[in-house]
Structure 1
Amino acid sequence: MTQTTPRRLESLDTLRGLIMVLMALDHASFFVARTHPFEFWSIPLPDYGGSASWFLTRWVTHFCAPGFFFLMGAGMALFSAARLEAGWSAQRITRHFLLRGLLLIPVFYCLEAPIWVVGMGGLGNGGRTSFIVFTVLVTLGVSMILAAPLLRLSSRSWLAMAFIAIMAPNFLIPTLIKHGGDVGFIMRAFVVPGETYPISAMYPILPWFGICALGVGFGQLVQRNRDRALRAMLPMGLAYLIAFVGVRVGGGFGNLREASGAGWIPFLTVVKYPPSLAFCLVTLGGNFTLLSLFHRAGAWFDAIKRVLSVFGQAPLFFYLAHLYVYMLMRFVFFPQTSGPQWVLYPSWLAGVALLYPACLWYRRFKASKPDGSLWRMF
């Protein structure tokens, strides 16, 4: 057993694995059913026509992106502490994360972007295709790069950064709506989703980096007292969910768009692009609650935990592979028309089942490589 093994938190791997499985549902919906609503700040929120099944198919996947960024931040803090104990210098840790973050960007352009070019007909709108794009993978990489030289900051500093970065769009975008004007390159890349050639941003840097920063702060708290920090996530998560209800009932600030009608579906349909305060509260609240419950779960949950951890310990491999799996399903089985909804769910589960042995193999392959190997960065 290595020095760093005890620091690996099973509950984090379990939550990450669940997130991967839910994310697969979202992309199966896109490729197989050709249905993928967007909760964008500048357009009306999706109308599901009262269909609870279509709404829930989309809504449960909202927990994925915030979970990715939060767990990445927590993982950076835990990795840093473990490597310091193993004799790495702070400079070596910084270089590791800078390289790892930089690698995610060409991985997107070389391995992921072609899938979206085929599936969506391009990465931009109009006659010109933006070539600087901030998708989830690119913004994860940028967030890692930004966080890398700052890991020695205190947990209070990280939590303060998280608060400012997450709240920023809730102040800046209403101001933009009120006063109008063009969105410049900096605002587009950091705050406002949309396109300003040559930049296209679905995941602007600032709010998503804020969620990563929240994860780093949490990871540092785990270093002090693992059990206490993980147990505290349950009341924290419930507090976030209660605050979400307050923000939605209050309307206005924190929503970016108010509910488009009466009923529980419009109430729960919130702006994701960029992550509004309401979106952050409900998704982070859910992630915090699940993380604490996974930590508290008894032996009865071990089998499920083992399965989910296989996906959770090979996240980038799963992420790229599942896109190819569902794209192939689309072109093999539904080349001309969308698959019906009743086909979507078996297709989703079939894709996940196919990827399980592949992720199991990749996890073993990666573990066989030395710490300095590039394979360990994926």
Structure 2
Amino acid sequence: MTSQVSPTQRVNAVDLLRGIVMVIMMLDHTREFFHADALNFDPTDLTKTNTLLFFTRWITHFCAPIFVFLAGTGAYLQTMRGKSKAELSKFLLTRGLWLILLELTLIRVIVWFNFDFHFALMLQVIWVIGVGMIVLAGLIYLPLRVIAIVSLAMIALHNLLDKIQVKPTSLGAYLWMVFHQPGVIFFTPRIHGLVLYPLIPWIAVLAAGYVFGTVYNWEAARRQQFLLRLGSALLIGFVLLRGLNIYGDPNRWSGQKNAWFTILSFLNVSKYPPSLLFLLLTIGAAILALPWFERLGREWLSQIFITFGRVPLFFYIGQWIAAHGLAILVSYLAGKPIGWLLAGLLEQPRPNPGNLGFSLWVVYVFWFVGLLLLYPLCRWFAAVRQRRKDWWLSYL
């Protein structure tokens, strides 16, 4: 992996990685709307799951951290295209505010397909990217070394905060949930929301991605060698630290009913909030893949993923609409109730009364159908963005 790589191939590698993880992200959202057991248990619950269901959920763990990390990398790449720090800071601030607004309005509606705002908000990945961009708008004026130290320290040490668990009974408790402890916030007995992506350590992941972007200034051979070593080191660090079972994840692995499920327990790391081990595994694998992705790009399959990766926000919004809309249509045609697909989180029937959802193979079929529907739309929008340079297109 030491031959020359063009600037376009470097950027294509990032878009290819982003496109792959977004396609996988849609699998998880399709599962949530289609699968009969989506309302019954967590697919990573080793007392109830099976291998295929476990990995259907587990593989999607790679999506959010890579999505957030590459949002930071993309910010740095803009400086390589000529943006000054002042211009980048303004863009990050305004785009961050725009993403938060989208999370609280349009995305909330397309996730739940209702306007019943007593389930007022759900703070997910778009919100945390938005806040992360606002924070990064100020951080970029610091030396890169300082940004690296602060972000890596937050990622490495935040699991020390795991023992601080609060009940949602006060403003201070709600603020802590926004910063580190996911959960449901009750604004009033009738109005509530869900914090799924707390700020710590997600904003540090985005900042680390910004620092990581500097490697794309390097000559190809040096960069690829560094990426291979860094990705390998992170994955080795994951195996060693996970093996010690002392620190890095509140969900300790343990012996299970057989050796295979013990391996699954070893891999079953915490996403909410993302533990140190979770990030070592997911970001490490992503970095290890990037040198290989620099050699790809012309193959038809790579081009499909690159197309998705070039329009991340457009795809993100579209995949929610496609997965949710298809679930309602297919459930209706199959004679199944659709009311739960139009309800808020706390109004959904849990567990499944027995007449909702479909088998796992149906999830995979309509995941593929959804991707077929989205591809021509994403290809069209990517062409529009390439053809036109209107300022507002950079916000979509």
TM-score (norm 2): 0.82
Partner of 1:373: 391
- Provide the C-alpha distance between the structure 2 equivalents of 1:260 and 1:332, rounded to a whole number of angstroms: 42
Partner of 1:194: 183
Match of 1:162 among 138, 151, 171: 151
Aligned-partner SS, 1:83: coil
- Provide the C-alpha distance between the structure 2 equivalents of 1:264 and 1:122, rounded to a whole number of angstroms: 43
Partner of 2:362: 343
Decide whether aligned partners of structure 1 residues 287 and 298 sit closer, same or farther in structure 2, where only a CA change above 3 A counts.
Answer: closer
Kept after mapping to 2: 8 A contact 1:105/1:137 = yes
Alignment of 1:23-34 (within 5 A): 23-34=25-36
- Provide the C-alpha distance between the structure 1 equivalents of 2:250 and 2:242, rounded to a whole number of angstroms: 11
**Cα deviations across residues 182-206 of structure 1 (Å, max 9, x unaligned)?**
7623322122211344463211112
Aligned-partner SS, 1:206: helix
**Cα deviations across residues 318-369 of structure 1 (Å, max 9, x unaligned)?**
1111111111111111243201111111111111111111100011112233
Partner of 1:313: 310
Letter in 1 for 2:78: F
Partner of 1:214: 208
**Cα deviations across residues 1-30 of structure 1 (Å, max 9, x unaligned)?**
xxxx85961100000010111001111101
Residue 286 of structure 1, CA deviation: 1.2
Partner of 1:293: 292
- Provide the C-alpha distance between the structure 2 equivalents of 1:234 and 1:8, rounded to a whole number of angstroms: 15
- Provide the C-alpha distance between the structure 2 equivalents of 1:35 and 1:155, rounded to a whole number of angstroms: 46
Match of 2:90 among 65, 90, 95: 95
Decide whether aligned partners of structure 1 residues 323 and 153 sit closer, same or farther in structure 2, where only a CA change above 3 A counts.
Answer: same
**Cα deviations across residues 244-302 of structure 1 (Å, max 9, x unaligned)?**
1122221131111212542111111111100011111111111111112212x357x63
Kept after mapping to 1: 8 A contact 2:165/2:181 = no
Alignment of 1:110-149 (within 5 A): 110-118=105-113, 129=119, 131=121, 133-149=122-138
- Provide the C-alpha distance between the structure 1 equivalents of 2:315 and 2:77, rounded to a whole number of angstroms: 22
Residue 122 of structure 1, CA deviation: 7.6
TM-score (norm 1): 0.85
Kept after mapping to 2: 8 A contact 1:29/1:35 = no
Residue 83 of structure 1, CA deviation: 2.5
Letter in 1 for 2:61: H
Kept after mapping to 2: 8 A contact 1:139/1:208 = yes
- Provide the C-alpha distance between the structure 1 equivalents of 2:142 and 2:213, rounded to a whole number of angstroms: 12
Letter in 2 for 1:158: I
Letter in 2 for 1:136: V
**Cα deviations across residues 78-100 of structure 1 (Å, max 9, x unaligned)?**
1023123xxxx432221112111
Unaligned segments of structure 2, at least 5 residues: 1-6, 188-192, 257-261, 338-355
State yes or no: 1:105 paired with 2:90: no
Unaligned segments of structure 1, at least 5 residues: none
Residue 229 of structure 1, CA deviation: 2.6
Aligned-partner SS, 1:334: helix
Aligned-partner SS, 1:256: coil
Letter in 2 for 1:76: A
- Provide the C-alpha distance between the structure 1 equivalents of 2:359 and 2:40, rounded to a whole number of angstroms: 20
Residue 110 of structure 1, CA deviation: 2.4
